[in-house]
Structure 1
Amino acid sequence: MRRPLRATALAAVTISAALVVTACGGGSDGSSEDGAGGGTAPAAGAQDLNPHPVNDLRQGGTYKVAIQQWINQYNPNQTDGTQGDASAITALVEPDLFTFDAKGVPHSNPDFLASAKVVSTDPQVVSYELNPKAKWSDGKPLGVADFEAQWKALSGKDKAFQVASTSGYDQIAKVEQGKDEHEVRVTFATPFADWQMLFDPLLPASLNATPDSFNKSWAGQAPVTGNAWKVGAYDKTAKTITLVPDGNWWGEKPRLDKYIFWAMDSRARTDAYLNKEIDEAPAATPEAYQRLKGDKDTDFRIGARWDQVTLSMNGARGPLQDVRARQAVSLGVDREALATVAGKDMPFRPKAVNNHLFMPNQEGYRDNAGAFARRDVARAKKLLDEAGWKEEGAGKPRAKDGKPLVLEYVMPADAVPLAEDQAKLTQQMLGEIGIKVDLRKVPADDYFDRYVHRGNYDLTQFRQVDRIYRSSSYRDYRQPDGDNAFNNYGRVSSPEVDKLMVEASRTTDISKQIALYNEADARIWELGHSVPLYQRPQITAIRKGLANAGAPGLGDENSVRIGWLK
């Protein structure tokens, strides 16, 4: 698959979406003997890419993958560019300064950086030594102008830039040229622990030059690139984006001739894979896994990804503006039951998550759910009583001031059966505490752009992925700034959470940093921001014979080495 989403990935993806220690390699499906979820979930650092040296691969060939919607915004730092597949494509065609190993540790990418290191701690100064060969598709070399423009656009100082996150950039004091045109020095006003998160991907100065160019010039296209791949064709009719090797690339040449992304209905992916129309398909839902496991031309590749299925609550409209109503929803949902449904007939059962910021198999994970760890119908009902929502009799929704307690649960029209089953279970669970839930299906291509990103829902379920840099989660919980909600789509926040998360991002002592993030998480639970459900398994069905691709877990694939065995 494509390079997983990292620093700018932000990404929320629908539960039905596919993305993205020694590799297991052989493609075993990892099932327990009874095939009913008895296996053990992979540990942090687990990945399965079927690794092979390039000499084992033939030159040429096409790799076809499915994405969940046509891409309308290719600027991953813009509020509408945070959809997962868009950022994944951008990461293949733009400079990725850092790559990740299986443990999720970043390393300088030599194609773009000769080195990157902290050269001073008071103040914190980072020196980037650029590869002199690195250049943009318009022929301009990568340089200080690109870093400076990206910093200024994402600093948060000019509100006309519709930025998805300012984390880290708002702590920079200056960006300047170093000893020559190939060195860039970034000086921080306050320390920033996750400094490798910044400028990755690096984007051209032309994109970040003005609010208009930032917000609009990459709508539907990536006009300037700078990596091994470039966009060969956008075909909106066929809903395909075709990447081809860039002939001006200075690094190792890709083994593939084409890398094709095909936007299709989520329900169609399994059929498309079995019909050999695409070369990989998500197998992380029971119905998909059971259909795919009988295909003899298929490997199952399993990794441990930062991938959280989340029930988002909108605190900016309707009944959920009241924290007591949000807390009642948190207590009314049986997360263990939803995780069990997700693990039915799967190789292993997903783990319920009691932390918004860390995965259960990740260093720093603490159970901060407290009173919200288990379903508590009695307490949920009491909270609704206190909020003024009175019972109206068996089978009827509660009411206040003559209005029934009704929430709209928005979901994409192409949601897979698991997502529908879980929505109906949530509807039933909340009905038992007196909340009526109306399920509303919306066009898949509109789900993020018109509903999630705009806060046009009361409840919705999506995935948050690849928050490996701890500070990258800040955008999900920070206080909105006017019309800009960043990634806090439900606009639930507090000054206290902001303070704790910003302080954590400035703390270089890892143990203190972890403690601050966990303190913030406990407050997030009390706010009723959202309900983290479980860690979604990374299970990919992939065509036998495809090497160096599959389930990277916390790491990266090297896209130039993805290819077909001889």
Structure 2
Amino acid sequence: MRRSTILALAATATASLVLSGCGGSSGGSSDGKQQVAVADVNSRPLSDIKQGGTLRIAIEQWIEQYNSNTADGAQGDASEITADVEPVLFRTDEHGVPQLDPDYLVSAQVTSTSPQVVTYQLNPKARWSDGTQLSWRDFQAQWKALNGSNSAYQAADTSGYDQISGVAQGANAQQVKVTFSSPYADWQRLFTPLFPAAAYSTPQEFNNGWTQKIPITAGAFRISQYDKTDQTLTLTPDPKWWGTKPKLNSLVYRAMAQTAITDAFLNGEIDEAQAEDPDDYRRLVKDKDAQIDTGSRWDEVHVTINGAHGPLKDVRVRQAIGEAINRQATADAFGSGLPYKVNLLGNHFFMPNQQGYQDNAGVYGKFDPTAAGKLLDEAGWKDNGAGKPRTKGGQKLEVGYLLSAGSPQTTVDTAQLIQQMLGQVGIKVDIQKVPDNDFFDKYVNLGNFDLVSFRNTDSMYPSTLVSTYQQPQGKNLFQNFGSVGSPQIDALLKQAAGTTDKTKAEALYNQADKLIWQAGNSVELFQRPQVDAVRKGLANYGASGLVNFTDYAKVGWVK
């Protein structure tokens, strides 16, 4: 699973783990669709799992940047792979509740509230692959790289770290005292994964030291082979690992287009495939070696609007796009061939099955082509009649819609549906397909698009989304790739992230969400249901709900 990441709609198959709670889909709705489960895995004790075997997983592209705290490395596959081999201090369970990992931490708790101080006691057995113990210096290096004080560090997200005033050694090098300048509720999401000071202490190391390689590890697995020609990455158990010995002999990631994943699963080449696409589902559900798992993942599908250039700089045009899109039609189209309910989404921070959710779309997410037309009139775009783009000063109202070339048919269908909807109000949309490997690196991350659709996933801590909606600083877009924000939104997000009262924090995030809808930052479409085909016999692996990172040491094949 991925933590606070962005995924192309042509995204990779998803790996996940739940050690408690297992069951099939239950419940239903008025249209006969089933509700997906909270979590659905083949949960087994380690004694039921045989020693050995390989797990093969598809990823969407070859990884160029493994530092998941940079914009390029925040891409989902890179984040997941890095977390496989680096310390994950807290893993969330299927309900999104953080659980301390004893392989890395003896304890971690708030030891003072004024100011807020969190004291970590590291497991003395925990060591980096260069032989040094994990220590307070690793925390200090990561804080300095991510607190935003030095723009030379190309950090994707400074939230949380920018509220830390100091990181110091406690009673010994394995005790860390982190002091906050203002209260921060989601402190358990910080320093996960933890990165080594030996490869993180300078901008050069941070920005370039993790390009096409992971220099230092500290996990149950290590990377034993990078094969760019074969587009495979092989992880094997680290013999120096101090925790429970992994059951698998190897974990192999293979880069491939989304359109190839179903065939690869059916041909026995990989062991998990997403089955949310109706065509894929119909094929995968018939496979005698497949188990269909469902879960309620933090997974949203949206359209990002680039307000940095062209006609989309005008908030009225952006708002018109929101009112011209029939969001319910996109959800219905996506789920038309699935037996599971697809939930319409009216919030940028919370899922419909998550505490804090309320529908904030209002008029800016209500399908109203007449209102959209009035906004375009006010913006000076002349209506030239049905089927013709509007014009202003001799220019046509024309925008591009960026797609990854390997997108599945449902994604193409969504783009074409939106193309038709916007065309009806006089906005001409050109669908632009780009190579899978360039989609993020050369387009999305650089703000090189007009409209684009991708997924934000696994943001169980709402503060992880601050960088998605905060105003860019110079060339650093953070993860607000469309550059649409405001001082008011920034202030509310900062206040929410610093509010330790959960109910009050949720109210602040919802206030910010209303302004995000109004600003035309993006149009939320629907919560993507988690439907996975998993190879039968695979244990502790499947659709895991709100789990953030898989513990692959516990994954394996049933005896």
TM-score by length of structure 1 reads 0.96
Distance 1:395 1:126 in 2: 60
**What does 1:488-499 align with in structure 2 at a 5 Å threshold?**
488-499=480-491
Q: Counterpart of 1:547?
A: 539
Distance 2:331 2:20 in 1: 26
Q: Counterpart of 1:308?
A: 300
1:37 to partner: Cα distance = 7.1
1:213 to 191, 205, 225: 205
Return closer, same or farther for 1:37/1:212 CA change in 2, 3 Å cut-off. Answer: farther
1:11 to 6, 14, 35: 6
Q: Counterpart of 1:278?
A: 270
Q: Which amino acid aligns with 1:294?
A: K
Distance 2:27 2:262 in 1: 19
Return closer, same or farther for 1:15/1:338 CA change in 2, 3 Å cut-off. Answer: farther
1:24 to partner: Cα distance = 6.5
Q: Counterpart of 1:560?
A: 553
1:507 to partner: Cα distance = 0.6
The yes-or-no answer on 1:97 pairing with 2:78 is no
The yes-or-no answer on 1:49 pairing with 2:46 is no
**Contact 1:100–1:107, Cα closer than 8 Å, also in 2:** yes
1:317 to partner: Cα distance = 1.4
**Deviations 1:183-227 (Å, cap 9, x if unpaired)?**
000011111110011100000012321111110010111110001
The yes-or-no answer on 1:379 pairing with 2:354 is no
Return closer, same or farther for 1:421/1:79 CA change in 2, 3 Å cut-off. Answer: same
Q: Counterpart of 2:289?
A: 297
1:394 to partner: Cα distance = 2.4
**Deviations 1:487-538 (Å, cap 9, x if unpaired)?**
0000000000000000011111111111100000000010000001000001
Q: Counterpart of 1:419?
A: 411
Find the residue that maps to 1:38 and give its secondary structure: coil
Distance 2:27 2:264 in 1: 24
The yes-or-no answer on 1:266 pairing with 2:263 is no
Find the residue that maps to 1:504 and give its secondary structure: helix
Distance 2:14 2:285 in 1: 19
1:169 to 130, 152, 161: 161
1:303 to partner: Cα distance = 0.8
Distance 2:92 2:117 in 1: 22
1:32 to partner: Cα distance = 7.4
**Deviations 1:326-365 (Å, cap 9, x if unpaired)?**
0000001111000001111212121010111111111000
The yes-or-no answer on 1:400 pairing with 2:395 is no
Distance 2:77 2:44 in 1: 26
**Deviations 1:29-81 (Å, cap 9, x if unpaired)?**
77979xx97333236xx111201111111100000010001001000001211
Distance 1:191 1:87 in 2: 27
**Contact 1:15–1:461, Cα closer than 8 Å, also in 2:** no
Find the residue that maps to 1:290 and give its secondary structure: helix
Q: Counterpart of 2:498?
A: 506
**Deviations 1:218-246 (Å, cap 9, x if unpaired)?**
01111100010100101001101111000
Q: How many residues are matched?
A: 556
Distance 1:22 1:230 in 2: 23
The yes-or-no answer on 1:391 pairing with 2:388 is no
For structure 1, the 5+ residue unaligned runs are none
**Contact 2:234–2:252, Cα closer than 8 Å, also in 1:** yes
Distance 2:27 2:277 in 1: 14
Find the residue that maps to 2:5 and give its secondary structure: coil
**What does 1:138-287 align with in structure 2 at a 5 Å threshold?**
138-287=130-279
Find the residue that maps to 2:117 and give its secondary structure: strand
Distance 1:268 1:37 in 2: 32
Higher mean alpha-carbon deviation, 14-23 vs 349-358, is at 14-23
Find the residue that maps to 1:271 and give its secondary structure: helix
1:22 to partner: Cα distance = 8.6
**Contact 1:23–1:48, Cα closer than 8 Å, also in 2:** no
Return closer, same or farther for 1:31/1:346 CA change in 2, 3 Å cut-off. Answer: farther
CA RMSD in angstroms comes to 1.6
Q: Which amino acid aligns with 1:13?
A: A
**What does 1:339-358 align with in structure 2 at a 5 Å threshold?**
339-358=331-350
2:79 to 71, 82, 87: 87
**Contact 1:78–1:164, Cα closer than 8 Å, also in 2:** yes
Q: Which amino acid aligns with 2:100?
A: S
Q: Which amino acid aligns with 1:103?
A: H
Distance 1:16 1:338 in 2: 18
Q: Which amino acid aligns with 1:559?
A: Y
Q: Which amino acid aligns with 2:9?
A: T
Higher mean alpha-carbon deviation, 552-561 vs 452-461, is at 552-561
1:558 to partner: Cα distance = 2.7
Q: Counterpart of 2:51?
A: 59
Percent of pairs identical after alignment? 51
**Contact 2:264–2:270, Cα closer than 8 Å, also in 1:** yes
Find the residue that maps to 1:11 and give its secondary structure: strand
**Deviations 1:65-113 (Å, cap 9, x if unpaired)?**
1000100100000121111010000111000001111211111110000
Distance 1:243 1:22 in 2: 22
Q: Which amino acid aligns with 2:109?
A: K
**Contact 2:7–2:75, Cα closer than 8 Å, also in 1:** yes
The yes-or-no answer on 1:39 pairing with 2:29 is no
Distance 2:87 2:301 in 1: 29
**Contact 1:280–1:540, Cα closer than 8 Å, also in 2:** yes
Q: Counterpart of 2:432?
A: 440
Distance 2:535 2:363 in 1: 45
Q: Which amino acid aligns with 2:465?
A: S
**Contact 1:15–1:309, Cα closer than 8 Å, also in 2:** no
Find the residue that maps to 2:464 and give its secondary structure: helix
**Contact 1:30–1:39, Cα closer than 8 Å, also in 2:** no
For structure 2, the 5+ residue unaligned runs are none
**Contact 1:15–1:463, Cα closer than 8 Å, also in 2:** no
Distance 1:347 1:16 in 2: 21
Distance 1:557 1:189 in 2: 32
**What does 1:101-120 align with in structure 2 at a 5 Å threshold?**
101-120=93-112
1:15 to partner: Cα distance = 4.8
Q: Which amino acid aligns with 2:51?
A: Q
1:290 to partner: Cα distance = 1.0
Distance 1:321 1:167 in 2: 26
